[in-house]
Each structure stands twice: as structure tokens, then as C-alpha cells.
């Protein structure tokens, strides 16, 4: 049951990323603002020029570039007990269809929390998109940070996504 919720969240993130292709990032470091979710106990920093969009079902946060061509989303799913990130992410990989290919996964720690990083590729409307997701386990919760863009803009916009991931903090354990 929990892995199907992740699949739905992931599909929503990819759909949003497909609608909002990446924008190149300038050389200067932008001023940042912080988004805090008291309900879900996390915070994340983003450039002040970016826009926080209204949340949708299962998506906790979407941050969009000013020109509406790039977006990063944060979602979460909550279980009744502690989550096993390796088990859940392995199920996710097994359930993927041919439209989305998981190229590489790796385990890592983000501020002491277990995490899995996925590099993906998929074809949408004839365009090949590269993506990156980071799934972070925290008690009964898994937070999913997702990003995708065309091959041409992926590397530059990826730096913005990586800064979002580095700024992600959780105030409380799970939900």
C-alpha cells in the first residue's frame, strides 16, 4: 500500500516537471527565502525570485522559477511504523514501466537521515528528459524531492535542485 502512494506521488512530480522545463541558472548565488511546514515538520530554502505554488494532493510544496519553466517539488508519504527506505525504493524501481528508466541509484545520508538518490530518464512528447529524485527516510515518513528537465538544461538547473536538497531540514521525526 505504501509503495503505491509513492508511485502516485512520483508520477505527479514527473508530470509537473514535464510541464515546466528547466531554466538555466545564472552564475551568481541568489538570495534565498525559507519555506517552513509546521504540519509536516520540514523546511527548505529557495531563491527569493522563485514562487511557492499552492499545494496539491500528496504534494507538500512546489517551487517554480519566475519564468514558469522550472519547478522542484517536495512530497511525503507516512506509514504506520518506521519505513525501510531500501525496501520501498527497490519496490519503486521494480514497478517502473518502460517510459521511465532508472539509470542509477545510490544510498546516502542527508543530515543524518537515510536517503536514496535516483537518476532517471524518460521520453515525453519526443523529448528525452533527465531527472533526479532524492527520497529521505525520517521515522514513519519518506520525503521525496523531485526534479526533471531536458538534457540541454539539466546540468545547470541541477545545481539549483542540489542546493534545495542540501537545505532540506526536518524538525520532528516522522508524523
64-110 confidence digits (pLDDT tens): 777 666 678 898 888 888 888 888 888 887 777 677 888 999 999 99
Please provide the average confidence, as pLDDT, over all residues in the chain.
78
The domain segmentation of the chain, as residue ranges, is 2-170
161 near 100, Cβ under 8 Å? no
Average pLDDT over residues 148-167: 84
Percent of the chain with pLDDT over 90: 25
What the block records as the C-alpha cell of 50 is 522563485
SS3 of 32, please? strand
- Bridge partners of residue 2, in order along the sequence: none
Is the pLDDT reported for residue 162 higher than 70? yes
Which range, 22-26, 28-32, 52-56, is most confident? 52-56
pTM: 0.77
Specify the CATH superfamily of domain 2-170. Mog1/PsbP, alpha/beta/alpha sandwich (3.40.1000.10)
Candidates 115, 107, 120; CA nearest to 147 is 120
User: Does residue 24 surpass a pLDDT of 50?
Assistant: no
Contacting residues for 46 by C-beta, under 8 A, at least 6 apart = 32, 33, 34, 35, 52, 63, 72, 164
Amino acid at each position: 500500500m505504501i509503495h503505491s502512494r509513492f508511485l502516485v506521488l512520483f508520477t505527479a512530480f514527473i508530470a509537473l516537471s514535464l510541464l515546466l522545463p528547466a531554466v538555466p541558472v545564472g552564475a551568481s548565488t541568489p538570495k534565498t527565502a525559507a519555506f517552513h511546514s509546521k504540519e509536516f515538520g520540514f523546511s527548505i530554502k529557495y531563491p527569493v525570485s522563485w514562487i511557492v505554488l499552492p499545494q496539491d494532493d500528496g504534494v507538500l510544496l512546489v517551487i517554480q522559477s519566475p519564468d514558469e519553466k522550472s519547478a522542484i517539488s517536495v512530497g511525503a508519504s507516512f506509514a504506520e511504523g518506521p519505513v525501510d527506505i531500501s525496501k520501498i525504493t527497490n519496490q519503486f524501481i521494480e514497478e517502473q514501466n518502460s517510459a521511465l528508466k532508472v539509470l542509477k541509484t545510490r544510498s546516502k545520508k542527508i543530515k543524518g537521515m537515510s536517503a536514496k538518490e535516483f537518476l532517471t530518464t524518460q521520453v515525453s512528447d519526443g523529448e528525452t528528459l533527465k531527472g533526479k529524485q532524492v527520497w529521505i527516510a525520517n521515522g514513519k515518513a519518506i520525503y521525496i524531492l523531485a526534479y526533471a528537465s531536458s538534457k540541454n538544461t539539466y546540468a545547470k538547473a541541477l545545481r539549483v535542485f542540489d542546493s534545495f536538497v542540501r537545505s532540506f531540514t526536518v524538525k520532528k521525526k516522522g508524523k
